[in-house]
Amino acid sequence: MDEYISKIRSGDLKLYALEKSLPADDAVSLRRKYIEEETGADLSAVGTYTIPIDRVVTRNIENMIGCVQIPLGVAGPLTVKGEYANGSFWLPLATTEGALVASINRGCSAITKAGGTEVRILRDGMTRAPIFAAKSVAHAAEVARWAEDNLLLLKVAAEETTNHGELIGLTTYTAGTSVFIRFEFDTKDAMGMNMATIASEAAAHLIEEETKAKLIAVSGNMCCDKKPSAINIIEGRGKTVSAGVFLSDELVSMVFKTNSATLAEVNTRKNLTGSARAASFGFNAQAANVVAAMFIACGQDPAHVVEGSNAITTVDLVEGGVYVSVTLPSLQVGTIGGGTSIATQNACLSTLGVAGGAENPGDNAKAFAEIVASGVLAGELSLLGALGAQHLGKAHRELGRGEK
């Protein structure tokens, strides 16, 4: 091993290329050793991973030195009545933030007692928006027009790069001489960013050839990937999902120790007025907590928590109770590709019955989206209730600090 390390130091061996000369586990082990020597840190903990990594080192990561282990908990059972997910689910939640699983669990309990969440997917499409430089605003208008008029040609070019993806539409935007073509794809059970990137690049080259506009970048930030943005909220990206549930006055009182009018007031003052006053794009209590915990558990791209957690929470005062809902305009999920086939993540998806591709392609990703939205609703309900009853601080004291 020391010999290898000498070669790395001397530059004869590339740190990133160890997998070419060694079995994966050995390469990882050697690289970790090297980093330990370089930094003086003890990395044995990250070295005791137990997942198979042969595919991981070619698909999921480079320069691997081991694994981080994230505690996994469950909340549930949660009754979900969607069009793709229908039944009772235990939510896998990977987190290190004490009190979170307990909070979601309380929400699941309330929802299940109330008969479950109604869920609907309102839109579905993964987007990528190349940016082109035109010569003038007139040229920019022509480029946009050409793309709009030649969707079929672009569809052919794009779909030659993929076995499963379909280009389902495009929208054009300009800012002076910059032209953005926002392509939208049906990526079935895959989250689909890579597929969309590759297919968009092919389409972009066709646009470049035909219009003589210069391709600046295959992503022009109107996609809009992993940045908070109004375009994703308004147009959607990935799945746009709503989940709702009616809670009777009795249930609110029993589970949350508060009443319907208070739940509505907390939501209006905090989630709507407070977020408005903060010029926020997020009108919810803790959507990001749930989305992050489920995404990490289930092998989703955690940077997609940025848009995935966009959510509006509403509480309608209705006859005999409240109708509470969340709407997530840009939930980007997949059950194949990315981290979904890693052993532990795949197990989490299996818990929900959505691992891998569905018989009817796309149905697993949709079912997963419905479950995530239902989980977000559970988190909202629970936190709204806790805030209403002013118990947040207390809950954190007990759970977050390890007190009993």
Which amino acid does the sequence have at 304?
H
CB of 21 to a second copy, least distance (A): 14
Closest Cα to residue 203, out of 165, 230, 249, 250?
Answer: 165
311-336: buried (b, 16+ CB within 10 Å) or exposed (e) per residue?
Answer: bbbbbeeeeebbbbbbbbbbbbbbbb
**End-to-end CA distance of the chain, in Å?**
47
Q: How far is the CB of 15 from a second copy (least distance, A)?
A: 8
CB count in 10 Å sphere of residue 350: 13
What are the DSSP calls for 293-348, one per residue?
A: HHHHHTT--GGGHHHHT--EEEEEEETTEEEEEEEEEEE---SBSGGGGSHHHHHH
Is residue 396 annotated as part of the catalytic site, yes or no? yes
Cβ-based neighbour number of residue 206 at 10 Å: 17
Toward a second copy, which CB reaches closer, 362 or 388?
A: 388
Shortest Cβ 221–a second copy spacing (Å): 3
Interacting residues with a second copy between 293 and 332 (CB under 8 A)? 293, 296-297, 299, 301-303, 305-306, 309-310, 312-314, 316-317, 323, 325-327
Applying CB under 8 A, which part among 3-11, 251-259, 337-345, 359-367 lies near a second copy?
A: 337-345
Task: State which of residues 175, 212, 253, 257 lies at the interface with a second copy (CB under 8 A).
Answer: 175
180 binds a second copy (CB under 8 A): yes
Q: Contact between 268 and a second copy (CB under 8 A)?
A: yes
Q: Which of 26, 90, 159, 186 binds a second copy (CB under 8 A)?
A: 90
- The C-alpha atoms of residue 380 and residue 387 are separated, in whole angstroms, by 10
d(CA 86, CA 76): 14
Task: Tell me which of 25, 26, 36, 97 is the catalytic residue.
Answer: 97
Q: Does 17 contact a second copy by CB under 8 A?
A: no
Element (H, E) at 185: strand 178-186
Tokens in use for 347?
């197990």
Catalytic residue among 184, 235, 301, 370: 301
Q: According to CB under 8 A, which one of 6, 21, 253, 273 is a site residue for a second copy?
A: 273
- Site mask, a second copy, residues 123-162, x = CB under 8 A? ------x-x-x-xxxx-xx--x------------------
Residues 217-236 that bind a second copy (CB under 8 A): 217-222, 224-235
Binding status of residue 169 toward a second copy by CB under 8 A? no
* Catalytic (active site) residue 124: no
Q: Which residues contact 277 (CB under 8 A, 6 or more apart)?
A: none
Restricting to residues 361-390, which ones interact with a second copy according to CB under 8 A?
Answer: 387-388, 390
Q: How far apart are CA 223 and CA 184, in angstroms?
A: 9
**Distance of closest approach, residue 143 Cβ to a second copy, in angstroms:** 11
Is residue 247 a contact point for a second copy (CB under 8 A)? no
State the number of binding residues for a second copy (CB under 8 A).
Answer: 175
CB of 150 to a second copy, least distance (A): 17
Alpha-carbon distance of 353 to 357, in angstroms, equals 11
Concerning whether 205 is annotated as a catalytic residue, the answer is no
- CB-based contact 313:380 (threshold 8 Å): yes
CB of 165 to a second copy, least distance (A): 13
Residue 277 in contact with a second copy, rule: CB under 8 A: yes
Q: Which stretch binds a second copy (CB under 8 A): 149-157, 251-259, 338-346, 361-369?
A: 338-346
Characterize the bridge pairing of strands 178-186 and 117-128: antiparallel
Are 182 and 222 contacting, i.e. CB atoms less than 8 angstroms apart?
Answer: yes
Give least dist CB 319 to a second copy, A: 11
Interactions with a second copy, residue window 54-73 (CB under 8 A):
55-73
Catalytic site residues? 97, 301, 396
